[in-house]
Structure 1
Amino acid sequence: MKTLGLGAASLALPGFLKAADRSESKPNIILIMADDLGYSDIGCYGGEIRTLNLDALAAGGMRFTQFYNCAKCSPTRATLLTGQYDQAVGQKNLEHGVTFAEVLRPAGYRTIISGKWHQQPLPTTRGFDRYYGLADGCCNYWNPGIEARPGEPKPGRKIAGPRRWAIEGESIMGYTPEDKNFYTTDAFADYAIARLEEYKNETKPFLLYLPQTAPHYPLHAWPEDISRYRGKYKTGWDILRRQRYKRQIEIGMFDPKYEMSPRDERVPSWDSLSESEKDQADLKMAVYAAMIDRMDQAIGRVFAKVKEIGKWENTLILFLADNGGCPETPDTTPNIPPGPVESYRSVGPEWANASNTPYRKYKSTDYEGGNCTPFIAYWPGVIKPGSKTDQVGHIIDIMPTFMEVAGAEYPGRIENGKLKPLAGKSLLPIFQGKQRKQHDVLYWQFGKAKAVRTGDWKLVKYGDADWELYDLDKDRTELNNLASQHPQKVKKMAGMWEDWWKNCRK
């Protein structure tokens, strides 16, 4: 998409001129997004899964306790890429916006993406120089195609038709790699490392976007990674939730004044399961944990390459997830255990409920369990190591942040379309240890889910149920519905949501 002219939007960003006029070189940027990762899955957010590289990133950077996504894969990606709500920008085609790659490339950046792309136009048509990965929703980790490799069973699948893969600007419908050691998480890292090596002598900064498919179903992982966790989850999801909640409090990532949410009503007690059922459930969670472990290993390999080429000290790194843990159960191979290429299994609501500790609900809902994500920011010399913040952030803030740190400008208009303004504001003041003026209001919608947050008040609903009202300052886990006590506030906030929804269509 062609961008035409330079608008005033960039100059309205807090600190923009200061950022644009800085004498130091522009930072490299690495943006990593996990897929269907629960709030408590990684170690630095209370999890027991081995995530040494992400934990080290958090120790050297900043962790947010109130950072939000859009609670669903494709909407989150549209919003993240453009700095606009997906309902306004056009979730599928991004027709009313520009991507951060389209903004950063004119500012002198080499733009690379390796991983999952969930929009219709390929990244190479939307500002990215190079691309490799899944241009679809999900795929078999061992074999994204339809046909089996020689000597292997057919890959387990969710749907009969092919998933779209892409290499640079070419779409491939049914991508079956020849290498029997192919595994998507490893392949995404390999491509990123190869591009870093290719461009290591360039003087221009790089933007590397690494949207993972892990740990989204299907449950596929290397046997050596699975063995690290097999048997460790036989204590069950009830004890795991309590352990994670306790650890979150111990490491300062959750205030003990907030109760942990009760076990979700869809989930049976662990003790009600037979020994055989417990063993099968343990295997599912062991594979899920192994997928996260392998993702962290892959991230570590990319980090090692950045250090090797001497770019680490001038690199801003952000890590987040696209939504909360996933309760969906597309188990198309129920008689094949999770792990190998021929299987297609999911972790289900039981372990997803534990993944989202201490919050309620899941992906595709706008309760905290669906839309509150881990968010780590690392930038040597700018972000104080080991810091935490309770300031509220949202993925609409990523584009303005990149613009400010890069001295980039938002275009005045786009060819053949209506360019809508940015919805977010830069996170740089928070990174610098300052108090940022908070958002006046934040909105959510996906399918049957709706929510609006203003200050500490959050109004949320799902389907035909009534609006629910929570005071997040006193009730982060959304246990005490105050709607009946504050009917006027409910009416006002519901009206704000309706007005926003109508304006998105204009």
Structure 2
Amino acid sequence: MVHPRSLRYLTVCLSLLALFLATGAVEAAKRPNIILIMCDDMGFSDIGCYGGEVDTPHLNQLAREGMRFTQFYNNAKCTTTRASILTGLYPRFGKGGHLRQNMVTLGEAMKVAGYQTGLSGKWHLMKTKGYAKSKVPGGWLDRYDKTTHPYFRGFDSYYGVLDGCCNFFDPTISDPPYKRAGIRSFGHDDKAVTEFKDGYYTTDAFTDHTLGMIRSYSQNEQPFFIHLCYTAPHYPLHAKPEDIRKYVGKFKMGWNQLRKNRWERLQELGIAGENWSLSEGDSRSYDWETANQDFEDLRMAVYAAMIDCMDQNIGRIRETLKETGQLDNTLIVFLSDNGGCSEEPGGRDPNVRRPGPKDDYVAVGPAWGWAQNSPFRRYKSWVHEGGISTPCIAWWPGKVPANSINRSPAHIIDLLPTFLEIAQTEYPQSYQGHELLPLEGTSMLSLLAGEHKTLHDSLAWYWSGNRALRQGPWKLVWDKGVKQWELYDISADRCETNNLADQHPERVQQMAQDWFTWANKVELNAKSKSK
């Protein structure tokens, strides 16, 4: 016979257990929505909360209410970064391309986890069967490989440019002959988009599609994952006149003074650590005093206006999340795909180049591209810190500590495993009959909670002849212009101003060999004897 007191105790225990299980079920049902926002070719210190001059109140608010990372790494280039974000893997450089069937995408993995999925904006991972530089809008979409199309790789809804960056006001306008890329192709799900209304602007349009997905997905109980890939502020420098007017004249200090100003603000904001210093000089920059300063100021004014417009649209996203009751249960992550860009197709002759309107194709060039990554060295396509360091903001009410700064190194390959842990699912060993490559990223959920720790023993990079390897505090860099290994102690010299290669030849040799081992793993077929 059970004693009444024991029976009451057992009843209470069972009630508590039922309450615990019910609470767990509710928590599982409330898995957060995730919005991953990535901009294109934006420098480390361009936005206000990272020391920049651009008016970015909405990003600043995300930073104030969330977390900023100081050592978050990308892959220095559009395509390789996008491949790694989507797969949690280093990019592969062999014949199969960056996106293969033995890789699962974020869209596919989140769908398996029960999320509604969508992607808006730039894709840039398409493979086509035949010539891809079309002379008519959507001209090559009949030859796309479905295994590399977002709509067939896990995204319930897609709208955007499939192959790079197009004219912001009218994507039917071809790139100029000196760019040699033809008409960029637009798609909506699996259909071509070939007509664009007056007043069209890609940054607004990509946001409009995102807002539509938020409203639609919010009507269902399932959480959603949306990847929003802005092309701003990638060239061509196209912006609305009212946004440009805010910044004309604000960059007359020139790139050298801009770098000094940003360096001071980075220290005031607490972003720069004690091991940081302002790097000096760039081999591809030029003299401000002899430059056409009105033209240079206008280039940066348009660039700033593009970022400003993006920030306005991020404000629209927050407002729509609030309207749909999703704001408090959404993780927002913001970052850039690589450092500021030094490319300059079409040159910088102010007599033939006009930044701003849709009928020209202008870029900021190497001097501004370098300054955008203050205080670091280099820019997009290079793997010094200026090429691979991204501003990264994480905002998640009640989960991410407000106004916090995390100095732990992390990498874009870590986003997929992080989101899978948040979605309470595992990385699959196989998908649709294909055995998958082992995951190379590591969940950074503990970092989002405020911990500081090292996730990787080693991180590696490659693009267009530039190489780098980081192991603990040590970073080995090969600049294709210098053509020799450089060694830096990042723990004491984050901005790579003191080359220690001559003092540590054995470390250089060992790390170089480790880089070549990694290079062969990612199908670069590199040989150490070739240097």
Give the TM-score, by structure 1 length.
0.90
Select 2:150's aligned residue among 108, 123, 126: 123
Q: For residues 297-308 of structure 1, what are the structure 2 equivalents within 5 Å?
A: 297-308=312-323
Cα distance between partner residues in 2 of 1:329 and 1:454 = 34
**Paired residue for 2:390?**
373
Specify the SS of the correspondent of 1:391: coil
Specify the SS of the correspondent of 1:269: coil
Select 1:63's aligned residue among 56, 61, 68: 68
1:91 is displaced (CA, Å) by 4.3
Cα distance between partner residues in 2 of 1:366 and 1:33 = 19
1:252 aligns with 2:267: no
Larger Rg computed on CA atoms: 2
Query: Deviations 1:90-122 (Å, cap 9, x if unpaired)?
Result: 544333310111111111111011110011121
Specify the SS of the correspondent of 1:86: coil
Cα distance between partner residues in 1 of 2:353 and 2:288 = 22
Query: Deviations 1:399-419 (Å, cap 9, x if unpaired)?
Result: 000010001222221346441
- AA in 2 matched with 1:344: Y
Q: Does structure 1 retain, via aligned residues, the 8 Å contact 2:409–2:454? A: no
- AA in 2 matched with 1:95: Q
Deviates more, 1:450-459 or 1:162-171: 162-171
Deviates more, 1:322-331 or 1:417-426: 417-426
**Paired residue for 2:30?**
25
Cα distance between partner residues in 2 of 1:365 and 1:413 = 34
**Paired residue for 1:326?**
341
- AA in 1 matched with 2:389: C
Q: Does structure 2 retain, via aligned residues, the 8 Å contact 1:112–1:129? A: yes
Specify the SS of the correspondent of 1:445: strand
Q: Does structure 1 retain, via aligned residues, the 8 Å contact 2:35–2:225? A: yes
**Paired residue for 1:7?**
none
- AA in 2 matched with 1:128: F
Deviates more, 1:107-116 or 1:458-467: 458-467
Specify the SS of the correspondent of 1:422: coil
Q: Does structure 2 retain, via aligned residues, the 8 Å contact 1:29–1:208? A: yes
Query: Deviations 1:265-296 (Å, cap 9, x if unpaired)?
Result: 222232233xxx10011100000000000011
Q: Does structure 2 retain, via aligned residues, the 8 Å contact 1:65–1:253? A: yes
Cα distance between partner residues in 2 of 1:195 and 1:258 = 42
Specify the SS of the correspondent of 2:494: coil
1:436 aligns with 2:485: no
**Paired residue for 2:183?**
162
Specify the SS of the correspondent of 2:390: strand
Unaligned runs of 5+ in 2: 1-23, 127-147, 526-531
**Relative to structure 1, is the Cα distance of residues 489 and 340 closer, same or farther in structure 2, using a 3 angstrom cutoff?**
same
Runs of 4+ in 1 over 6 A off after TM superposition: 154-157
Q: Does structure 2 retain, via aligned residues, the 8 Å contact 1:155–1:341? A: no
Cα distance between partner residues in 1 of 2:377 and 2:416 = 29
Specify the SS of the correspondent of 2:103: coil
**Paired residue for 1:382?**
399
**Paired residue for 1:145?**
172
**Paired residue for 2:516?**
498
Specify the SS of the correspondent of 1:191: helix
1:488 aligns with 2:506: yes
**Paired residue for 1:184?**
202
**Relative to structure 1, is the Cα distance of residues 479 and 296 closer, same or farther in structure 2, using a 3 angstrom cutoff?**
same
Select 1:267's aligned residue among 281, 285, 289: 285
- AA in 1 matched with 2:118: I
**Paired residue for 1:445?**
462
Select 1:289's aligned residue among 304, 310, 331: 304
Give the TM-score, by structure 2 length.
0.86
Task: Give the number of equivalent residue pairs.
Answer: 476
Select 1:100's aligned residue among 102, 106, 128: 106
Q: Does structure 2 retain, via aligned residues, the 8 Å contact 1:43–1:50? A: yes
Q: Does structure 2 retain, via aligned residues, the 8 Å contact 1:382–1:432? A: yes
Specify the SS of the correspondent of 1:460: strand
Aligned Cα RMSD in Å? 2.1
Greater length-normalized contact order (CA 8 Å, ≥ 6 residues apart):
1
Deviates more, 1:111-120 or 1:86-95: 86-95
- AA in 2 matched with 1:407: Q
**Paired residue for 2:15?**
none
- AA in 1 matched with 2:276: Y
1:25 is displaced (CA, Å) by 1.4
**Relative to structure 1, is the Cα distance of residues 170 and 359 closer, same or farther in structure 2, using a 3 angstrom cutoff?**
same
Q: For residues 35-74 of structure 1, what are the structure 2 equivalents within 5 Å?
A: 35-74=40-79
Cα distance between partner residues in 1 of 2:386 and 2:416 = 24
**Paired residue for 1:401?**
418
Cα distance between partner residues in 2 of 1:437 and 1:280 = 44
Cα distance between partner residues in 2 of 1:142 and 1:60 = 33
Cα distance between partner residues in 1 of 2:348 and 2:489 = 43
Cα distance between partner residues in 1 of 2:162 and 2:505 = 45
Cα distance between partner residues in 2 of 1:28 and 1:248 = 31
Q: Does structure 2 retain, via aligned residues, the 8 Å contact 1:332–1:344? A: no
- AA in 2 matched with 1:492: Q
**Paired residue for 2:225?**
207
Q: Does structure 2 retain, via aligned residues, the 8 Å contact 1:156–1:342? A: no
